[in-house]
Structure 1
Amino acid sequence: MPYRNRSLLSVFVVFSCIALGFSQEILTVEETVKLALKNNYEIIIASNDLKIDEYGVSPGLAGMLPSVEASISDNNSIQNLSQTRLDGTVAEQDNAKNNSLNYGVALDWTLFDGFGMFANYEQLKENKKLGDAELKQVILSTVGDVMVTYYDLVQQQQQLTALDSTIQISKQRVELAQNRFTIGKASKLEVLNAQVDLNTDLTLMKRQKELYANTKIKLNQQLARDLDTDFKVAPEIFVDETLLLPDLETMVVNENPQLLAMEINKRIAELELKQIKAARYPNIYATTGYNFGKSESSLGFNTSSKSRGFSYGFGATLNLFDGFNQNRNEKIGKLDIENTEIEIAQQKQELLALLGSTYQTYLTNISLIELEGNNEAIAKENLDITVEKYRIGIIPTIEFRTAQLNYINAKVRFSNAKFQAKVSEIVLKQLAGNLSV
């Protein structure tokens, strides 16, 4: 079979294997994100924390509702009694039985506490909002990590394809060198060099397969599923090149979950100050209840007695002096609010600075995609010409290997440029609080 036909057959076999691999079921990035939202441990924990905050939004927990308590007590005794009465007579009885039974229902209700209960109820609502923001932050962080790992696998899969292509070329080179040696047109050194380069490519392939397998384990771990689950990822990376910095800055200010959480914490600090100020007002409460009492005695003037009926009352307390603690606590509360305002301004500046630098990286990576894509095409054309020249024996081995390495490096750089651009896109959308697939 002529060499050109053998070469075409080899290329056809390589691409047939690749097509067969990609014909298998592919795990899309959308499916990956859905699995992460369903199974990831950190997301589940954050979701449960939010449910706890939701259960906490209750007027009863805020102290706005009355408390009702039922009680019962039954006391008994057996004693040897001796009583001396006013008239001088003495009454004695051994094993005298005494019994006292009391039961009833009591209601206590704080009617006014300086509006502290209302501030407390609003704080419980803010805690729920804080849980929402924290859950959103966990989701953004987890989904971002999962997507980066996913596209890292896409990049590694592309590198495996590139390495597989170069191995086929190296095998052809060994075969050519062996044929040239057989007919006396090349030295044994040329055959050995070709074999060494082939072994180098095979070693690189093994290392790349190891990295690919480890990254698949990492993604399975992030998806909280069987670590041995096998899958393939999409063959290509598509980058959103339409992101604009002004739009992203607006979303950071309005939707970033870290900023939202800090704004909520400021509101909570304001409500805590209201609760502190409530101590300046009187605390008014009401009590009522229904009680039943019964007592029996074997010895005494009254051998039994019973009582039943309602009880009710009102009360109020007012702090007149507590060692200036009230003033001190209010000043501390105001400083806490001031600190949260400063922290919000600081965090906003840090996020916008990070957004700006990441956006510049994003623009650079997008420009590198076009550059490296053109470079790959040039390297491929150069390799094709070099292979043909080597086949007819008009270029040395080192020039062939250089063209081969230039091609594989160009493919790797092109794949890496797309991956880095995608990572920049994911980070920008994370900062903007608007990461979706």
Structure 2
Amino acid sequence: MNSNKNIFCLFFAFLCTVASVNAQELLTIEDAVKIALDNNFEIKIASNNLQISENNNTIGNAGMLPIAKASVVDNNSIENTSQTRQDGTSIALDNAKNNNLNYGVGLDWTVFDGLRMFARAEQLEELKKLGKNELKRTVLLKIGQVNLNYYDLVQQQQQLTAIDSSISISKERLQLAKNRFSIGKASKLEVLNAQVDLNTDQVALLRQKETYQNTKILLNQILARDANTPFTVVDALKVNAQLKYDELLNLSQKQNPALQAQIINNRIAELQLKQVKGNRYPILTLNSGYNFADSKSSLGFTSQANSKGLNYGFTASMTIFDGFNQNRNEKNAKIEVDNALISLEQQNQFLIAQLAINYQTYLTNIDLISLEANNEAIARQNLDITMDKFKIGTITTLEFRTAQLNHVNAKLRYSNAQFQAKLSEIALKELTGTINF
């Protein structure tokens, strides 16, 4: 009976373990990017702002279409009125009622305003492009953050594996020390030292697990989903070691969002100057309407009158003198154009410098990957030899611990070298606007 009960408990524990593993979805970088594009709040806001720019980009908003208005005016009065006529007779009436009703539709159409409406239409188009560019910049930034946090998790997962392997070795060492102590070939001090080193490794594992879980929470936050959503990441970190500086520089000149934004802002400043200059020209507006009028009066020669009909005409106006404000506005608009050109040049120089710095860091990190991989292999070989010698008692526990730590540190440095190289790759792709999303 007890045997069956134990089998049932083991089977139940196995099912719980399987359920726990299945609950941990394997989140690939492609899945993470897709979730961020669908959910991230800042991307949604940038997308909505682009929609506003697209809605504003109409010829009506540029002032090219006529404006039609309907109006109704109804005036009523009750007055005590007296009148004296030319022939000397007079008439008076208390509480005399008067009513005037006017209604109709009118049309105003500005057909010429110094070409400002056309400049405004071009400006609205540039603002839409700026909105698209801002959306792209936000997407690149957020996808860069997704990549950074994702590959940080990959690195931390590798570090957890390295520490786990170190704990296994420390446990084996402790067991060997206990066995040797039990047969009188080792002192109690050797056992205590092995126990302390094992405890140290376990503390390091707990700290690393804490960092790992916190980074998972941060990634879930960027993905705009429940912070405690369970998932795992891939266990390998691939770095593109074939990036070329000349190709990156060419791409950055064409696709860098910050540089493209400055180019668009320069064009917007030029169109603003064009609109300001348009104020020097006359404005011609066509107007037309169809109106109805009905009036009633309790006193006077006419007790009731009605009229209806079409009216049309045009209005032309031109500012002759405005206190030299036009000259001032034009000077300021030209300065804004100069500022936009300066900002464009500054952004371009900054981009080239950042690209050069990040590319040099990228090359260094690529070299470090090979070096640290070689160091890790040597440290592994050294640990294997040291382990064999420790088992037969030809080396001290201090020498063994040194070899063990060297191996763990070599694995951590190798993992970190891969991560740093990946960060350099991501930074270069952000600058060139080529992160795949």
Report the TM-score, using the length of structure 2 for normalisation: 0.93
- Secondary structure (helix, strand or coil) at the match of 2:193 reads helix
Aligned AA (1:209) = K
Q: 1:24 to 1:299 in 2, by over 3 A?
A: closer
1:174 is aligned to 2:174? yes
1:219 is aligned to 2:214? no
Q: Which residue of 1 aligns with 2:138?
A: 138
Q: Which residue of 2 aligns with 1:276?
A: 276
Please say if residues 154 and 236 of structure 2, whose CA atoms lie closer than 8 Å, have aligned partners that are also in contact: yes
1:265 is aligned to 2:280? no
Please say if residues 362 and 425 of structure 1, whose CA atoms lie closer than 8 Å, have aligned partners that are also in contact: yes
Please say if residues 35 and 223 of structure 2, whose CA atoms lie closer than 8 Å, have aligned partners that are also in contact: yes
- Segments of 4+ in structure 1 off by > 6 A? 20-23
Aligned AA (2:303) = T
Q: Which residue of 2 aligns with 1:285?
A: 285
Q: Which residue of 2 aligns with 1:387?
A: 387
- Secondary structure (helix, strand or coil) at the match of 1:118 reads helix
Aligned AA (1:224) = A
CA distance in 2, matches of 1:21, 1:68: 67
CA distance in 2, matches of 1:223, 1:266: 35
Q: Which residue of 2 aligns with 1:339?
A: 339
For structure 2, which runs of at least 5 residues remain unmatched after alignment?
1-16
Please say if residues 65 and 109 of structure 2, whose CA atoms lie closer than 8 Å, have aligned partners that are also in contact: yes
Q: Which residue of 2 aligns with 1:371?
A: 371
Aligned AA (2:263) = E
CA distance in 1, matches of 2:138, 2:23: 34
Please say if residues 69 and 106 of structure 2, whose CA atoms lie closer than 8 Å, have aligned partners that are also in contact: yes
Please say if residues 23 and 231 of structure 2, whose CA atoms lie closer than 8 Å, have aligned partners that are also in contact: no
Aligned AA (1:330) = E
- Secondary structure (helix, strand or coil) at the match of 1:225 reads coil
Moved more, 387-396 or 191-200: 387-396
Task: Write the mapping of 1:296-311 to structure 2, written as runs, cut at 5 A.
Answer: 296-311=296-311
Q: Which residue of 2 aligns with 1:429?
A: 429
Q: 1:182 to 1:104 in 2, by over 3 A?
A: same
What is the Cα deviation at residue 87 of structure 1?
A: 3.1
Q: Which residue of 1 aligns with 2:97?
A: 97
Please say if residues 383 and 407 of structure 1, whose CA atoms lie closer than 8 Å, have aligned partners that are also in contact: yes
Moved more, 364-373 or 84-93: 84-93
- Secondary structure (helix, strand or coil) at the match of 1:68 reads strand
Aligned AA (2:47) = S
Task: Write the mapping of 1:7-22 to structure 2, written as runs, cut at 5 A.
Answer: none
What is the Cα deviation at residue 383 of structure 1?
A: 1.0
1:203 is aligned to 2:203? yes
Aligned AA (1:119) = A
Moved more, 273-282 or 148-157: 273-282
CA distance in 2, matches of 1:82, 1:329: 57
Aligned AA (1:408) = V
Please say if residues 162 and 412 of structure 1, whose CA atoms lie closer than 8 Å, have aligned partners that are also in contact: yes
What is the Cα deviation at residue 24 of structure 1?
A: 5.5
Please say if residues 239 and 418 of structure 2, whose CA atoms lie closer than 8 Å, have aligned partners that are also in contact: yes
CA distance in 1, matches of 2:92, 2:160: 105
Aligned AA (1:417) = A
CA distance in 1, matches of 2:200, 2:103: 90
- Secondary structure (helix, strand or coil) at the match of 2:359 reads helix
Aligned AA (1:426) = I
Q: Which residue of 2 aligns with 1:9?
A: none
What is the Cα deviation at residue 319 of structure 1?
A: 1.7
What is the Cα deviation at residue 391 of structure 1?
A: 1.3
CA distance in 1, matches of 2:44, 2:139: 10
Question: How big is each residue's C-alpha offset from its partner over 1:45-71, in whole Å with a ceiling of 9 and x where there is no partner?
Answer: 000000000001111111111111100
Q: Which residue of 1 aligns with 2:58?
A: 58
CA distance in 1, matches of 2:73, 2:163: 85
What is the Cα deviation at residue 309 of structure 1?
A: 0.7
CA distance in 2, matches of 1:294, 1:271: 49
- Secondary structure (helix, strand or coil) at the match of 1:395 reads coil
Aligned AA (1:403) = A
CA distance in 2, matches of 1:67, 1:199: 81
1:185 is aligned to 2:173? no
Task: Write the mapping of 1:92-171 to structure 2, written as runs, cut at 5 A.
Answer: 92-171=92-171
- The root-mean-square deviation of aligned C-alpha atoms, in Å, is 1.6
What is the Cα deviation at residue 84 of structure 1?
A: 3.0
Q: Which residue of 1 aligns with 2:46?
A: 46
Aligned AA (2:160) = L
Report the TM-score, using the length of structure 1 for normalisation: 0.93
CA distance in 2, matches of 1:205, 1:337: 58
- Secondary structure (helix, strand or coil) at the match of 1:300 reads coil
CA distance in 2, matches of 1:76, 1:118: 45
Q: Which residue of 2 aligns with 1:14?
A: none
Q: 1:23 to 1:392 in 2, by over 3 A?
A: farther
Please say if residues 22 and 235 of structure 1, whose CA atoms lie closer than 8 Å, have aligned partners that are also in contact: no
**Identity fraction in percent:** 60
Aligned AA (1:113) = D
Aligned AA (2:34) = K
CA distance in 2, matches of 1:394, 1:142: 55
